[in-house]
Structures are given as structure tokens and as C-alpha cells.
Chain A
């Protein structure tokens, strides 16, 4: 089937992007729109003693200057976190509320202090520079260890010690016992570097207010427009949600950072009401680096106990995980997953895991591609290599001795995950073959002949894909074509194509005629957007269930039209066939009949449509193996990816071309985290050091090397279409694969440990230190 499931169908959304006709928020221009600029805090922690806006207010083109005092005067609320552990029977955390403009104390560089609205963007920016804020700087902490140190300045006075909550898993006493009897134990201190999504489209917001109807419209760079609507209407503006429409048009990438609303999304709506004009704000890259949610930033002390053959007996971990100055967005989620997936794909009977949520004077930490799974897999995969090194066995053997075998599926981990499927060892062997693992010695000799060090690694990831329920609708029109109304939200993932493939195949209707609507809260009844690799599972399964309802209703309509009983009707490949006769009707004809102006039996109601909900309460478990070879120049510390092979199990594939792009894109972000990317704050002043793309190093085409990809797909058993997620996989598997390969290359020189990112200067310094120690 040319457009069916499994085909590399060209994306229907591409034409507007390749011709420059995409419409992102910043591209929207509405009549009379004014422009906003934000004044940000230059201090990590300071009290606002005074704020003089008179010069700004008098500047050319300025329509209004708004401050935290105005927010308070207008009775606007702050932005709460999406959830706290206590909302899910977890421990009680210190809940914060983030003001949309700060009236009193700033708690991070980049906090929004004032907003200027002017006729042009340049006038708004010019006037913003005229605002004088009198700050009393206060002591700040930006690193995890400093934040939990004795006597550290408190980000929140009511939360001394800066720990909001701690989460635990496992059995400490059993773990102690396992460590006591272990033949070997290993321990690591691992930093999971703070990074940032950096979607290429900076965030933007355009707010409209209709004074006659008292309604608001927001154009938002959002992965989740209904979530924005709910939070802004309920928590910030305090209006019935019926008065707010949120539209997420073309959105230029999200990766988690656009999953929930930011102060600017509410500010433009409020400002539009205040000035009586539409107000548009378009963020700069530096504002994004400073003020978008960051990701990761975790410090773990991890230990592993094993028997003499390398079978893992227990894992213990104590982590600190930064949450920044506020609990914000789904920022709690990474902590949950960072513990739950530490066992990875291995049968580990005993664990004792703890993580603490730590406030720091920095931008909040949110969900970023993988959200906790990269942290978890990094811990276990680094430990496995450490164990192999200690025992003097190969990283292949140590993993092989610990995999959960297919015979034990469904397998429940000690942290409560239930893996339905997974052929870990078979996939592993496929990856080793793809990478020519056994031919490594020759390649290493060749590298050494050129003065380069060569190292290799094999790492295995598993991930939790899908969360929450969602609703999808299929709606026919009187001409017989169908439109998908999606609760999910594509911002690069190709849903308009993949979902149409599913519907075309199930209902037997022409792919080309299927319409697609998403991202508008007035058009789509409810949706939760796209993140956590959820949309193939939840959107796809809900579409399947909606399609089942369409077929069921279609059967009754066909029976009516063909004059037979509904149970006489069979459906296959788009045709309703009356078994006892030679008569049939196509789905399109049935749809047209359902819209007849006369004669439709009342019980059918008018038209043909169906909505269905699917819940992600049971996630799926994509998994796979990364085999990496690096080449290192010992004179410069530069690391090159010499070879990289990935084999994934992503279940049933809807569109292989899209899956390949998702895996490859995730991989590039994982490579970025391992080798290049790092959000750095100055530890003393709390200043953001990496505030531009000159300082924050993004992966480029010439940073990536050859890549071999293959699949070992095992259909998921817990959802009706057999899919597993694919969006986060690459970002989870790559960091441990790369770091383990680098360490494999450097261990002969005496380098025992390295943290991410493995920049040339860090690698060079590690080599130099090892040489000094050996001398």
C-alpha cells in the first residue's frame, strides 16, 4: 500500500517549509500590532529596591511600561509547576509560584523584571535600556554542591538547605547486605551537564484582546496549546478558559522546552488588554539561553556491587538534581525518571536509589529530550564499563551476563517499570555485527599509526515512551473526505503525514484527501500536545480506536443503504460488503450518505465522525544499542567520532523515513551533550557565561561522523498498533556510549574518569594530569 503503514511517505507538510511559506509565530503580523521587549535581571540573586521607568515611558513610540508592581495591582497570578510529587502520592515538596514579572527579589539571571510595549521592536528595545533598576545584590548559589553546603544562601527563605524534596526507590538494608557480600564493588561520581533544548525557532508570543467580547487570543510557540490555555486562563489571568484561544501554528522545534507556558505568553495577553493593541514579543537567542528552561544538571554518586563473574548484585545511587529557582513546567519529571530507569535493561534484584531536588539561583530546569532517562542510563552504563574494567572483562561480556532475557517478559524492575517486550541480547548482537566489533584491533592499529588514540564502547538504553491520555478525532465532511483533529502537536515530527498513513490504511480512504488540524484550542476539543515520545502511542492508538468507531457506524449506514442487517456487512480495505449479496459501498460513499439532507435515520445523527481516547498510563519501552568508536588526538584533546552504529527496537514503524530522522536527530543532541554542550554559570557571581551561540556549542554537520543504523523491532504488546516511541532514544544512548569510548581510549594513559562535555581542553587536561601522575 503506497501510503500505508511502514512506507517512507513524503511529508505532506513539507511544501510550505521548503518554499519559505511556513508560518511561525514570529511570522504573524496582525493589524495594529505593537512590540514588546523584556528587561531581564542581570543578577543571580538581588532585591529590587527601586525601579525608574520614567525615561522609558517618555521614549519615542512607547505605549506602556509594565512592572511587577503593575502585575500585583492588576491581581494577576503566577505560574505554578505542572505538578509536584505530592500530587502523585509522593513526598511533599516546596512548591513555588513564579511571578510573570518579578516585583521584589530576582532569583536568577534572566528573570523578567519589566516589559516595554512600543510601536516597533527597536523602539521597545531602546526604551527597555532606559529603565533603571536599583538592585541590592544578594549571595547566590548556582552549583549543586554549593547549594546543599552548610550555610548556603537559601533560594527560598522557607526552604533552608535548598532541598525541595527527595525521592527514593528500593531497599537500603538489602542493598547494604548485597554490597557486603559482593566480590567486587565500583563507585563513580558523575556530572550530568546542564544543557538546553535550543530549538532553532526562538520562543515568541503574540497576544490579542477583543475588548468587546472580553476574549483573548494567543499565538504561541507551544508543544501543548491546551496546556498553555489552561494555565494562563486559570492561574495567571483568572478568567474562564472559554475566553482564551491558544493557537500554536508552525512551531520550529520544541524538545521539551516549549511544553509549558512562560511568563511572556501571559504577558503579551495582559499587555494587549492594557494598551488596547495586539502585542508581539519575539525572543532573541540570548534571551532563550538565559530564560528558557534548561535540562539535566545532575550530580550522582553511584555504586555497583557484583559477583566475581560480573553479575550485578545491587546498585546504590545518591543524586542531587537541580531544579533552578522555581519548580516550573514538568520539572519534577526528570527526577522521577532519573531513578526509575537506573536498572536499564539488566536484571538487577536490589537497588537503593535517592535523588534530591535542589533549588539554585539559575533558570529553572524543565523537561528536555529524554527528561531523566538520559540521566538514568548514563549512570548504569558508566557503572557497567567501570565494572568490566575492574574485572578485566570485556564490556560486551559484562552486559551479556546481566540482560533481562526475553523469557522473563513481562519483566518488572525493582523500580516499578514493567517491560512488555525486548530482545536485548539479540539486538545487542546485531549491533556488534553492524559495528564490526571484532575488527576493532586493526582499526586501532591504523589510528595509532597516525598518532591517534582509538577507543570503543557499547551501550544499551531503554526508554519510557508515552504519558497521559489524549483524544483524537476523525471527522468526515459531506464530500466524503476525512479530517484528523489531533490532540497531539507536531512541531517537526511529521504527524500530518504519519497519522494520515494510519487512517488511510485503516479506513481505506485516499491519503491525499485526508485533512489535518492541530494546535488550535478552538478547533480541537482537548489535547495534551507532544513530548515524552507520546504521540505515536497515544495519538496513533486513539486514532485506531476512533477508526474502529467509524467502521462500526459505517457498517450500520451501509446496511441501511444496502437494505441488509448490519451483521451482514463486512469491512475490508475501504469496502463495506453485504455478504449475502454482491453489493458493496466504499467508505467514501458511506460518508457521503451519512450527510444526506433527507432520509438519514435519526438514530445515526447527521454525518460521520468519531473521537476516541487512549491512555499512556501503560507506556512502551523503546530500547537499543549504540556502538561507538572515537579517535583522539592526544596533543590537542580533540575527539572525533570515527564510527557509530545504532540498532533500535521501536516496535511497529509507521514511516521509516520519519523514524530515521527522529533517531538521528536525538543522536545529534546526545552527541552534543557528550562532546560540546554546556550551560555554564560563573560559580561566584551566578552570571551566565554561555549566553550566545558563540559560547554554547551546538553540534554542526562537521561534528558528526559516519553512522550505521538498523532495527530489531519487536512490536509492543500493550497498545493496539504495536508502536514504540522513537523521539528520545538517540539522546539517551549517545552520552554513555561516547564517554565510555573516550575512556576506553584514555585508560591506557591512566585516565580513569571524565565528565561531560568531553571538550578538547578537558580531554587534554585529563591526559596531561595522567602523564604528570605517571612521571
Chain B
């Protein structure tokens, strides 16, 4: 069936089976592969997207249910192609990621937190990301990254120099 979705500020129409999850729709119909399937049963948070700013498990929701919401995926976080937003930059600066698989969901969970709380405590941050499982980092540097992003978003600190760009071939 045909569904109209608003994803990362763009209106799109997709033709999906009613049983298609929002996760599969975003990945396979829209080609936005930054949203990941980590458990398909709503526990790990790797598939987190924002619906009207709220972190949501895209694996637990049908695409047809997302009609009418503003959907933000990791691809919609940066202000411009090739740029990073403050949270993304802070994750790199503080080494808030290792394998990168949970990272999209973590950054979106952090964005939601920082939109409603400019000065979160460590406990606030733990709480906000406790629905997202990371197997690599032990969360310490993720928490530092979010603290750093919060600090910078409060304007107490200038962003670091633009991130490195260089050729790299791993695939």
C-alpha cells in the first residue's frame, strides 16, 4: 500500500506491504542504511529514529503507522552534506564509538535529550541512553561525548577544528 512519509525534511511516497516495519522501509525503500537492525524486538535501540523528536524503535512500528510524523534518521542530523553537527563531532572527539553499529541510535537518543535538557547530569545521560545497547565502549566515552556536546551547545566552547578528511579504502 502507498504511504506518504516525511523523512529528514523531505516528503516521500513509498509502496509497502502493510507488515513492513518502519525500519525495513527506511533501509530498503528509502536506502537510508544508517538505521540498523540489532535485535528486531525493540530492546537494543540500534534502529532508533526520531518521530517528531521522540526516540522511537523503528523495528517495532509499521511504516504505515508513521504517516503524519516528522521522521529523522541519522542521515538527517548533519546541517549540510559533508558537515557534522555538534553531537556527531563530539562523538568523534571523545571517541564515543568503536564499531559504529549502535552509533546512529546513540546520536539520535542524545539529540532528543539535548533538545529538552541543555545541562544534563551524568545520571540524566545514562537514563537517556539506557535504552540503547552498545557492546563496544562500556558507555563511558559515549557519556563524555554527550557531555561535551551539551557543553558546546550551551556555547561555552567553540567547536573543534573541522574534522579530518582523507582518503581511506576499507571496502
Residues of A within 8 A of B168 (CB): 12-13, 496, 515-516
Which one, B61-69, B122-130, B151-159, is touching chain A? B122-130
- Among B90-136, those with CB < 8 Å from A are 91-95, 97-104, 107, 125-127, 129-136
The answer on a CB contact under 8 Å between B39 and A693 is yes
B60 in contact (CB, < 8 A):
no
Q: How far is the CB of B108 from chain A (nearest CB, A)?
A: 10
Name the 6 nearest CB pairs between A and B, nearest first: A20-B34, A17-B100, A252-B101, A492-B99, A668-B138, A20-B74
Partner of B139, one of A15, A122, A668: A668
The answer on a CB contact under 8 Å between B41 and A701 is no
Residues of B within 8 A of A483 (CB): 169
Residues of A within 8 A of B78 (CB): 19
Which one, A74-82, A243-251, A316-324, A753-761, is touching chain B? A243-251
Q: A200-B46, A249-B171 are in contact. Are A22 and B136 (CB under 8 A)?
A: no
B51 in contact (CB, < 8 A):
no
Closest to B169 in A: A517
Residues of B within 8 A of A520 (CB): 171
Q: In the bound complex, what is the Cα–Cα distance between A282 and B36 (angstroms)?
A: 12
The answer on a CB contact under 8 Å between B43 and A692 is yes
Residues of A within 8 A of B125 (CB): 701
The answer on a CB contact under 8 Å between B138 and A730 is yes
Q: In the bound complex, what is the Cα–Cα distance between A27 and B170 (angstroms)?
A: 15
A491 in contact (CB, < 8 A):
yes
B167 in contact (CB, < 8 A):
yes
A707 in contact (CB, < 8 A):
yes
A26 in contact (CB, < 8 A):
yes
The answer on a CB contact under 8 Å between A20 and B73 is yes
Partner of A200, one of B84, B135, B138: B135
A513 in contact (CB, < 8 A):
yes
Q: A664-B138, A665-B136, A701-B142 are in contact. Are A19 and B88 (CB under 8 A)?
A: yes
B15 in contact (CB, < 8 A):
no
Count of CB-CB pairs between chains A and B under 8 Å? 219
Q: In the bound complex, what is the Cα–Cα distance between A494 and B100 (angstroms)?
A: 11
Q: In the bound complex, what is the Cα–Cα distance between A47 and B91 (angstroms)?
A: 52
Q: A22-B100, A520-B171, A701-B139 are in contact. Are A282 and B37 (CB under 8 A)?
A: yes
The answer on a CB contact under 8 Å between B163 and A200 is no
The answer on a CB contact under 8 Å between B99 and A18 is no
Query: Measuring CB to CB, which residues of chain A are less than 8 angstroms from any residue of chain B?
Result: 8, 10-24, 26-27, 122, 197-202, 247, 249-253, 255, 282, 284-286, 481, 483, 491-494, 496, 512-520, 657-658, 660-661, 664-669, 692-694, 698-702, 704, 707, 730
Residues of B within 8 A of A661 (CB): 95, 98, 136-138, 140-141
Q: A199-B99, A200-B38 are in contact. Are A15 and B92 (CB under 8 A)?
A: yes
B1 in contact (CB, < 8 A):
no
Residues of B within 8 A of A730 (CB): 138
B35 in contact (CB, < 8 A):
yes
Interface size, B (range): 35 or more
The answer on a CB contact under 8 Å between A122 and B19 is yes
Residues of B within 8 A of A707 (CB): 140
Residues of B within 8 A of A8 (CB): 95
Residues of A within 8 A of B33 (CB): 20, 22-24, 27
Q: In the bound complex, what is the Cα–Cα distance between A249 and B100 (angstroms)?
A: 13
Q: In the bound complex, what is the Cα–Cα distance between A520 and B91 (angstroms)?
A: 28
28 A-B pairs with C-beta separation under 8 A: A12-B164, A12-B168, A15-B163, A18-B84, A18-B107, A19-B34, A20-B73, A199-B101, A200-B38, A200-B134, A253-B98, A285-B38, A285-B40, A481-B167, A491-B99, A515-B167, A657-B94, A661-B136, A665-B98, A666-B138, A668-B138, A692-B43, A699-B133, A701-B126, A701-B127, A701-B143, A702-B130, A704-B126
B10 in contact (CB, < 8 A):
no
- Among B19-39, those with CB < 8 Å from A are 19, 27, 32-39
Residues of B within 8 A of A27 (CB): 27, 33
B52 in contact (CB, < 8 A):
no
The answer on a CB contact under 8 Å between B170 and A516 is yes
Residues of A within 8 A of B140 (CB): 660-661, 664, 704, 707
The answer on a CB contact under 8 Å between B163 and A10 is yes
Partner of B95, one of A12, A20, A201, A658: A658
The answer on a CB contact under 8 Å between A201 and B38 is yes
Q: How far is the CB of B32 from chain A (nearest CB, A)?
A: 7
